Chains A and B, each alone.
Chain A
């Protein structure tokens, strides 16, 4: 079955893509919101998903979105329809874990378009999920934080085994979702088992205000793995 993966560039959509390769991944699908407070879509460094698609050797379908709550669903539908037209996809894969809000909207869009919908990470234990991502060979960094326990020092930090232990401890202490499902943090994938090349960050800046921060990657390139 040809599938399109809803791809934000973060760990969960990349891991969902990895799982979806058990079928056939025909394209990545990315909605590019101009609103940083997007309800449905992960936003920091979203424009760099094109570099990740290139690293994976997968075609990418993108559509811009104003990031206004219900208009986002129409934008998502448009993006998925392009996946059908351009790559013949028969189904969509998401990296949703707990978000009933996100899953409901995507399920409705797929139902309206008569497409299959797969959520291979659905209801996973978040700690086990994080451990599996790291142990499977994914490399990712923290590209945004929106919760007080995750201060400026986390911005740009790569989540290796030691960082993962810290993240889990912080999450337990503050009753935070360890996978960042509540938007507590965002991630950017530098390398994945299905990448042909990995991403090297050459330049980035940190913006941190209140409890919110973004690690904005200004320059990055593909290098041999």
Chain B
């Protein structure tokens, strides 16, 4: 079971169709069950039963989640893999003590892999769809994995499988989400294993 978290301005918004549904579809295609929650929903009841969490992106003008960081206080003690996408990366980095600053990237932009990691194995550079007007300064507990001309694009916690990507892997880089899912619990708790 994968927790897919909607960070947009309200539950069930038009942004969920754009930023949550595509991620949820990829997770389903990988035969994982999903629990979709808005970030303002209580998630504590879900955390013990999920194998990983994906925090989705939002519209360019949507920053409400950054005003509401206490909703994500569960993140540092969540023991399973986490993938923060765009807004989700900003939240993850902030929760661990990093910061965000204005920096815009819109469209397909070349990514440069700068540190090895299982998530990006075999990729030196690749184009990815960016849609952000904030970028991150990760805290020392995170390693930068990839950059682009519009800032840090992929990070990972130095000791835990907690990832953030600023670009949107659900657009033309679905492999990254599929690879993240394989890190969650390879071969176990997938729907095919339960059927």
Contact = CB atoms under 8 A, between A and B. Distances in A.
Contact of A107 (B14, B60, B62, B172): B60
Interface string A166-200: 00000000000000000000000000000000000
A120 B14 contact: yes
Interface string B47-64: 000000000000111100
Contacts of B170: 123
B131 A114 contact: no
Contacts of A100: 107-108, 129, 171-172
A121 B21 CA distance: 10
Contact of B106 (A22, A111, A118): A111
A32 B22 CA distance: 31
Interface string B13-38: 01101100110010000000000000
A173 to B, nearest CB: 23
B108 A104 contact: yes
B18 A104 contact: no
Interface string A106-137: 01101100111111111111000000000000
A117 B59 contact: yes
A118 B59 contact: yes
Contacts of A150: none
B125 interface: no
A188 B129 CA distance: 30
A93 interface: yes
Contacts of B15: 118
A104 B104 contact: no
A123 B56 CA distance: 14
B167 to A, nearest CB: 12
B43 interface: no
B106 A108 contact: yes
A70 to B, nearest CB: 14
A28 interface: no
Given A111-B133, A125-B25, A117 B60 contact: yes
Contacts of B14: 19-20, 22-23, 93, 118, 120
B18 A122 contact: yes
A4 B42 CA distance: 34
Contacts, number: 60
Contacts of A120: 14, 17-18
Nearest to A122: B18
Nearest to A22: B14
B22 A123 contact: yes
B45 to A, nearest CB: 28
A107 B106 contact: yes
A121 B22 CA distance: 10
A111 B25 contact: no
A116 B129 contact: no
Contacts of B59: 116-118
B107 A123 contact: no
A103 to B, nearest CB: 8
Interface in B37-88: 59-62
A121 B107 contact: no
Nearest to A115: B61
Nearest to B15: A118
Nearest to A20: B14
Interface of B: 12, 14-15, 17-18, 21-22, 25, 59-62, 104, 106-108, 129, 131, 133, 170-172
Given A91-B61, A123-B25, 11 more contacts: A19-B14, A23-B14, A107-B60, A107-B131, A114-B61, A117-B59, A118-B14, A120-B14, A120-B17, A122-B17, A123-B170
16 contacts: A19-B17, A22-B14, A100-B107, A100-B129, A104-B107, A104-B108, A107-B106, A116-B61, A116-B62, A117-B61, A118-B17, A120-B14, A122-B22, A122-B171, A123-B18, A123-B21
In the A-B complex, the 3 residue pairs with the closest CB atoms = A123-B22, A104-B107, A120-B17
